[in-house]
Structure 1
Amino acid sequence: MQVTETLNEGLKRAYTITVTAAELDAKVQEKLIEAQPDVEIKGFRKGKVPLAILKKQFGSRVLGDAMQEAIDSAMKGHFDATGDRPALQPDVKMVGGDSWKEGQDVVVEMSYEALPPIPEFDATGIVLERLVVKADDAAVAEALENLAGSAKSFDDRKKGSKAKDGDQVVIDFKGSVDDVPFDGGSAEDYPLVLGSGSFIPGFEEQLVGAKAGDEVKVNVTFPENYGAAHLAGKAAVFDCTIKSVKEPKPAEIDDELAKKFGAEDLAALKGQIAERLEAEYKGASRAVLKRKLLDQLDALVKFDLPPALVEAEAAQIAHQLWHEEHPEEHGHQHGSIEATDEHKMLAERRVRLGLLLAEVGRKAEVTVSDAEMTQAVLAAARQYPGQERAFFEFVQKNAQMQQQLRAPIFEDKVVDHIVAMAKVSDKETSKDDLQKAVEALDEL
């Protein structure tokens, strides 16, 4: 077996792998000998079938496996010997293709872009500032007000009062398209909070100003991306009867409210809120710290990037951003999307940092434990209520999905590893300033 270099330019590599006919024949013979004890053919006892007969009957079937194993073995030997790690799956082509015949040497052309050597850097020279925010009384009071608002009740307004935004109207309604009622388009005694956005766009606004006893025709158009395809984009009329108009009444902030949310009393609820707020602040602060670290690493460590990896990342970024700008498009029948210079710059940053963090994690032997993966799968499964088991089975069978769940955990652990070596100082700040710092992340 021979491996000959044909290209070594930058990170681009190309080789010719030759497996001689004799080597291939020996591999076929080896596989037949391995299978011989389990083969049974009429006229011969199990395990006693002569190799010549086995080769005649099964040789062509075994040949393909032998050829693949020989090539795989040559590639593995090459990567072990050179230390190269391909950025993407190597491109492997058989010379001659369909014209190859048994008895000939097998010649394969392999090309790839190698991952670059990653320069060392001194993490102790990195200087970072961690924003620290305490949950003050004002923040706890604001959170309590929000909780009281979510636990609000509704009381009847005075007779003849007009419904306002935020009021609850109890209605009977019947919907029709082209004067034909449709399934799910009617209900009785339905409590609807005006301004909640729970109905079709434009529906709730037409009930503002209505009084108990009024009958209102609401004209709306179903969105183009409406879940029920037979209604999507259709104009509809809803005949509504207003049965009552109710004004919101926030819950009292007292021990009873605390018990509704599982706390022993109001003091205990305030303590829980403070803990939750500080956990949120800590998470936001970490996001800001991580961005500052990545910015420094991006400026500090430079190396050549595999062009194919950058192009693939730029294409993915362009595709993702296009869908964010066109949320109505759920499929991929939108033709090609060209990556801009801005996409390519962002792709270079992501690829550089991704390779750098992967190398730091490899050298530091950072791993993602089974328990951490289980927690990640559990968190992801919560997005599919009622289908958790199916999601677990999907993840178990899908290596790509496992990698998608593992990657952010690995990255965060590597970031923590670097931060632990860096010079980090704490700076107390306000909630508003932290919020501005978080919002600035989206602007970069």
Structure 2
Amino acid sequence: MQVTETLKDGLKRAYTITVSAAELEAKVQEKLLEAQPEVEIKGFRKGKVPLAILKKQFGQRLMGDAMQDAIDGAMKEHFEKTGDRPALQPDVKMQGGETWKEGQDVVVDMSYEALPPIPELDSSKITLDRLSVKADEASVEEALKNLAATAQDFKERKAGVKSKDGDQVTIDFKGSVDGVEFEGGAGEDYPLVLGSNSFIPGFEAQLVGAAAGDAVTVKVTFPAEYGAAHLAGKDAVFACTVKAVKKPVPAALDDELAKKFGAEDLAALKGQISDRLEAEYKGASRAVLKRSLLDQLDGLVKFDLPPALVDAEAAQIAHQLWHEENPDVHDHNHGSVETTEEHKKLAERRVRLGLVLAEIGRKAEVTVSDAEMTQAVLAQARQYPGQERQYFEFVQKNPNMQQQLRAPIFEDKVVDHIVAGAKVTEKEVSKEELQKFIEALDEM
């Protein structure tokens, strides 16, 4: 077996791999000997079929397997010897193709872009601020009031008082299109909160200002994308009778409210709110710290990037952004999306940082445990209530999905590893200051 270098230009590599006919024949013979004890053919006892007959019957298939094994072995030996790691799957083509005949040498052309050597990172050169925010009493009280608003009740207004936005009106209604009532267009004693946007657009606004006992004619147009095709885009008239008008009454901030949300008493509920707020602040603070770290890494470590890897990432970015700008298109049956210099610049940053983090993680022997993967799968499975088992089975059978779940865990662990060696200053800030840092991230 012979490997000959044909190109070495920057990160581009090309080689010719030659597997002699004798080597192939030896591998076929080896496979025949391995299979012989288990083969049983009419006229021969199991394990006693002559090699010549085995070769005649199975030789063609085994030749293909032997060829693949030989090429795979040569590639593996080459990468172990050179230390090269291909940025993408190597391009492998057999010379001669379908014209190759048994008894000839097999010659294969292999080309790839090698991953570049990554410079060592001195973590001590990285300086970071770890922002911390305390959940003050005002923030807890504000969150508590918002929570109470979700548990609000409604109290009937005095007779003759007109409804306002946010009130609950109890109505009877009948809908018609072109004077003909339609199925599902009627209801009795229906409690509707004005401004909740739970009815057809424009419906609730026409009930603002009505009092109990009023008859109101509501005219609306069904949306063009309405679920019932026979109503989509049609003008409709609803004859409504307002039977009651009730004003919203926030729930009392007491132990009973706390029990509704699973807490023992109001003090315990406040403690839970405080913990939740500080967890949110901590998550936001980590996002700010991580962005600062990545920005510094991007400036500290420079090296040549594999062009094919950058092009692939730029194409993916362009495609993703196109779908964000065209949310109504859910498939990929659209024209090609051109990449721009902006896409390429972002791709270069992502590829550079991805390679740096991967190399640091490799050298630090950072791994993602089975327990961490299980937790990640569980977290994702909760998004599919009732289908958790199917999701687990899908992940088990899908290596790409496993990698998508593993990658962010690995990245976060590498970030923690780098932060441990960096100069980190604890800095207490207000909730408003932290919010400004988060908003700045979105603008970048």
Q: With structure 2 as the length reference, what TM-score do the two structures score?
A: 0.94
Deviation at 1:68, TM superposition (A): 1.2
Query: Corresponding residue for 2:52?
Result: 52
| Alignment CA distance shift 1:210-1:110 (3 Å) | farther
Deviation at 1:406, TM superposition (A): 0.6
Cα distance between partner residues in 1 of 2:442 and 2:101: 59
Q: Tell me if 1:217 matches 2:218.
A: yes
Query: Corresponding residue for 2:233?
Result: 234
Cα distance between partner residues in 2 of 1:299 and 1:393: 42
Query: Corresponding residue for 1:316?
Result: 316
| Alignment CA distance shift 1:333-1:261 (3 Å) | same
Q: Tell me if 1:415 matches 2:424.
A: no
Query: Corresponding residue for 1:303?
Result: 303
Kept in 2, the 8 Å contact 1:130–1:286? The answer is yes
Query: Corresponding residue for 1:119?
Result: 119
Cα distance between partner residues in 1 of 2:164 and 2:131: 42
| Alignment CA distance shift 1:197-1:368 (3 Å) | farther
Cα distance between partner residues in 2 of 1:129 and 1:26: 64
Secondary structure in 2 matching 1:131 = strand
Kept in 1, the 8 Å contact 2:207–2:216? The answer is no
Aligned amino acid, residue 403 of structure 1: Q
Secondary structure in 2 matching 1:416 = helix
| Alignment CA distance shift 1:177-1:34 (3 Å) | farther
Deviations along 1:239-272, whole A, 9 cap, x unmatched? 2534433221110111111111111211111111
Deviations along 1:84-124, whole A, 9 cap, x unmatched? 11111111111121222222221111111111100012101
Cα distance between partner residues in 2 of 1:325 and 1:150: 33
Deviation at 1:156, TM superposition (A): 2.4
Cα distance between partner residues in 2 of 1:229 and 1:88: 49
Deviations along 1:185-227, whole A, 9 cap, x unmatched? 6554443322223344444334433444434334233354x6x
Cα distance between partner residues in 2 of 1:186 and 1:33: 81
Deviation at 1:175, TM superposition (A): 5.7
Cα distance between partner residues in 2 of 1:183 and 1:373: 49
Give structure 2 stretches of 5+ with no counterpart.
none
Give structure 1 stretches of 5+ with no counterpart.
none
Q: Tell me if 1:101 matches 2:110.
A: no
Deviation at 1:182, TM superposition (A): 6.8
* Count of matched residue pairs: 442
Cα distance between partner residues in 1 of 2:186 and 2:7: 71
Matches within 5 A, 1:141-220: 141-173=141-173, 187-212=187-212, 213-220=214-221
Cα distance between partner residues in 1 of 2:300 and 2:391: 41
Kept in 2, the 8 Å contact 1:171–1:240? The answer is no
Aligned amino acid, residue 234 of structure 1: G
Matches within 5 A, 1:18-417: 18-173=18-173, 187-212=187-212, 213-222=214-223, 224=225, 228=227, 230=229, 234-235=233-234, 237=236, 239=238, 241=240, 242-417=242-417
Aligned amino acid, residue 215 of structure 2: D
Percent identity, please. Answer: 76
Cα distance between partner residues in 2 of 1:259 and 1:424: 41
Greater CA deviation, 382-391 or 150-159? 150-159
| Alignment CA distance shift 1:240-1:15 (3 Å) | farther
Deviations along 1:109-141, whole A, 9 cap, x unmatched? 111111110001210121111111101111011
Greater CA deviation, 204-213 or 366-375? 204-213
Q: With structure 1 as the length reference, what TM-score do the two structures score?
A: 0.94
Deviation at 1:174, TM superposition (A): 5.5
Secondary structure in 1 matching 2:406 = helix
Kept in 2, the 8 Å contact 1:257–1:266? The answer is yes
Cα distance between partner residues in 2 of 1:61 and 1:172: 77
Cα distance between partner residues in 2 of 1:365 and 1:352: 20
- What CA RMSD, in Å, does the superposition of the two structures yield over aligned residues? 2.1
Query: Corresponding residue for 1:433?
Result: 433
| Alignment CA distance shift 1:187-1:116 (3 Å) | farther
